[in-house]
Structure 1
Amino acid sequence: MTAPRRPIAEMPLRVRYHECDGQGIVFNAHYLAYVDMCSFEAEKALFGSHDAFLAHGADVVVAEANLKFRSPARYDDDLVVSQYLNHLGTTSLIFDFEIHRGETLIAAATIRYVFIDPATLRPQAPPEAVRKVYATLLGD
C-alpha cells in the first residue's frame, strides 16, 4: 500500500466577502491567488523565506496553470490549501494543489513553474542546492 502524499505546506484561509462574485461564490481568479499564497508558504517551509530562496540565484515563474472546480466556496468558508510536488524536471517543476473545505475537495490546481535566472529572466536549471531540496520531496 502506498503512503498518502504529505503536503509541503498547508495554508488555512477564510474566504473574505470581497472575494465573492454576484452569485455569492468565490470568483474563479481568486483560486489562483490562494494557490500563489500557498506557494510562498511552501518556500518558507523549504528555504526559510522567499529571500532565502532567491539568495540561491534562482527564481520561478508560472508557465502553465490548470484549475478544476468541484464545489463552490462562499463568504466566511474556512478553507485549507495544500501543496504537493508532482514532478521535478531539468528547468521546471510541477506542483499539485488541493483546496478543501473540511473534508470536501472544492478545487484542485496543477501549476508548472520554470526556473529562471533572476537577472536575465531566462530559463535555467536550478542550482544544485535548490534541486536537492525539491528532490528529497520526491523520495526515490
Structure 2
Amino acid sequence: MTEPRKPIVEMPLRVRYHECDGQGIVFNANYLAYVDMAMFEVERALFGSHEAALARGVDVVVAESNLRYRAPCRYDDELVVAVFLNHLGTTSLIVDFEIIRGGDVCTEVKTRYVFVDPATLKKAAPPASVREEYAAFLPVQAD
C-alpha cells in the first residue's frame, strides 16, 4: 500500500482571457505552459531559484509529456497546479501534475525530464545533493 503523495509545490493561478480558445476553454497547449511554470516553482522550493539550480550543476529538459483532460477550465477559473515526484532515475525523473479547480482534478499531466549539464546540455546524472532534494518527495511505500 502506498501512502498519500506529498506535493513538492501547489502553485495557484487564475486563467487569463487570452489563454482561452474560441470555445471559451483553456487552449490545450496552455496546460503545458502551466506545468512549465510549476516546474520553476519546484526549483524555487528545492534550490531557491532556477539560477541556483544551474549553479549546482543541473538543469532539466522535457523528454515526454502526456496529458489527460478530465474537465474544461475557463476564463477566470482559479486553479492549483499540484506537483508530485513519481520516479527518480539515474539521469531522469518523472513528474505528475494535477491541475485542480475547486478540489476537482481537471487535467493530469505526466512529464519525463532528463537531467542535463547546464554548460553542454548533454545528459548527465545530477549531483548527489540534487538527487537528495528530489528524493525527499518520492512516494513512500508502506509495508
TM-score bracket, shorter-length normalisation: over 0.9
SS of the equivalent of 2:85 reads: strand
Deviation, 1:2, is 4.3
Q: Establish whether residue 94 from structure 1 lines up as the match of residue 94 from structure 2.
A: yes
Deviation, 1:3, is 3.2
> What TM-score does the superposition give when structure 1 sets the normalisation length?
0.96
Structure with bigger RCO (C-alpha 8 Å, 6+ apart): 2
2:80 corresponding residue in structure 1:
80
Question: How far apart are the structure 1 equivalents of 2:113 and 2:23?
Answer: 32
1:132 corresponding residue in structure 2:
132
RMSD: 1.2
Question: How far apart are the structure 1 equivalents of 2:32 and 2:92?
Answer: 19
Q: 1:28-49 deviations in whole A, cap 9, x for unaligned?
A: 0000000010111111111111
> What TM-score does the superposition give when structure 2 sets the normalisation length?
0.94
* Count of residues paired in the alignment: 140
Question: How far apart are the structure 1 equivalents of 2:44 and 2:119?
Answer: 22
Q: 1:79-131 deviations in whole A, cap 9, x for unaligned?
A: 00000000000100000000011121100000000000111111010011101
Question: How far apart are the structure 1 equivalents of 2:136 and 2:2?
Answer: 17
Question: How far apart are the structure 2 equivalents of 1:2 and 1:97?
Answer: 18
Question: How far apart are the structure 1 equivalents of 2:136 and 2:80?
Answer: 24
**Aligned runs of 1:27-42 on 2, under 5 Å?**
27-42=27-42
Question: How far apart are the structure 1 equivalents of 2:43 and 2:6?
Answer: 15
Question: How far apart are the structure 1 equivalents of 2:120 and 2:45?
Answer: 27
**Aligned runs of 1:48-87 on 2, under 5 Å?**
48-87=48-87
Identity of aligned residues (%): 69
Q: 1:3-35 deviations in whole A, cap 9, x for unaligned?
A: 321100001111000000000100000000000
Aligned-partner residue type, residue 36 of structure 2: D
